[in-house]
Amino acid sequence: MMLLTCPHCGARDAGEFDYVGERRDRPDVSRATEQEWRGYLYLRGNRADWTAELWHHRAGCERFLTVVRHLGTDEVRG
């Protein structure tokens, strides 16, 4: 299991966290086309590269945090 560093709790086992998903910006609901909105809902980059993700420290402080992780190597940028 990976270690993730929670800004509130320090380095913790990834098992304490829920993976929410890649971080993505919510389109403006008043203007979003179906294509934009469905992209926001369903399309993920999933590149073997540095990716900003949302994780939830469920078994800790319950904070949601952005983790920048390399999806090829599991390295996490501090």
Partner 1 sequence: MRLPPQPGEAIDRTTAFTFTWDGRSYPAYAGDTIASALAAAGVRVFSRSLKYHRPRGLLTADFHDPGCLVQVGDEPNVRAAHRRVEPGMTVRPQAVWPSLRWDVKSANQLVGKALTAGFYYKTFIKPRPLWPAYERVLRRFSPGGEVPAEPPDGRYDQRYAHPDVLVAGGGPAGLAAALAAAEAGLQVLLVDEQHELGGHLLWGDDGDRAALRDLRGAVAAADGIEVLTDAVVTGRYDGGRVVVLQRSAPGVVERLVKARPRVLVAAPGLIERPYVVAGNDLPGVLLSTAARRLVNRYAVRPGQRAVVLTANNSGDAAVGDLTRAGVDVRRVLDARRGDDVVRVRGRRGVRAVECSDGSTVACDLLVTAVGWTAPTSLLTMAGGRSRYLASAARFVPADLPDDVLAAGGIVGDGSTADLVAHGRAVGHEAARRARGLPPAHVADLEPGPHPELFHGRSNGIVDLAEDVSADDLRAAVAEGYDSIELVKRYTTATMGPTQGKLEAVNTIAVVAAATGRSIEETGTTTGRPPYVPVSLGVLAGRRYQPVRRSPMHTWHVEHGATPLVAGAWIRPDHYGDPAGEVCAVRQGVGIIDVTPLGKLALHGPDVADLLELLYVNRWRKLAVGSVRYGVMCTEDGVVLDDGVTGRLGEDRYLMTTTSSGATTVEHWVERWLQTERPHWQVHLVPMTDAYASINVAGPRSRELVGRLTDIDLAPEAFPYMRVRLGRVAGVADCVVWRIGFTGELSFELHVPAAFGQRVWEALLEVGADLGVRPFGVEAQRILRLEKGHLIVGQDTDGLTQAYGAGLDWAVKLDKDDFVGKPELAWQRARDDYLVLVGLQPVDPAVVPPESCQIIEDGQRIVGRVTSSRMSPTLDRAVCLGLVAARLSEPGTTVTVLLPDGRRVPVLVMPQLAHVDPEGVRLRG
Where do contacts with partner 1 occur on this chain (CB under 8 A)?
1-3, 13-14, 18, 20, 26, 29-30, 32, 34, 37, 40-41, 54, 56, 58, 62-64, 74
- Contact between 57 and 65 under an 8 Å Cβ cutoff? The reply is yes
Question: Which residue, 9 or 32, has its beta carbon nearer to Zn ion?
Answer: 9
Residue 57's binding partner out of Zn ion, partner 1, none, with CB under 5 to 8 Å set by partner kind: Zn ion
Q: Exposed, middle or buried by CB within 10 Å (0-12, 13-18, 19+), for 6?
A: middle
58 binds Zn ion (CB under 5 A): no
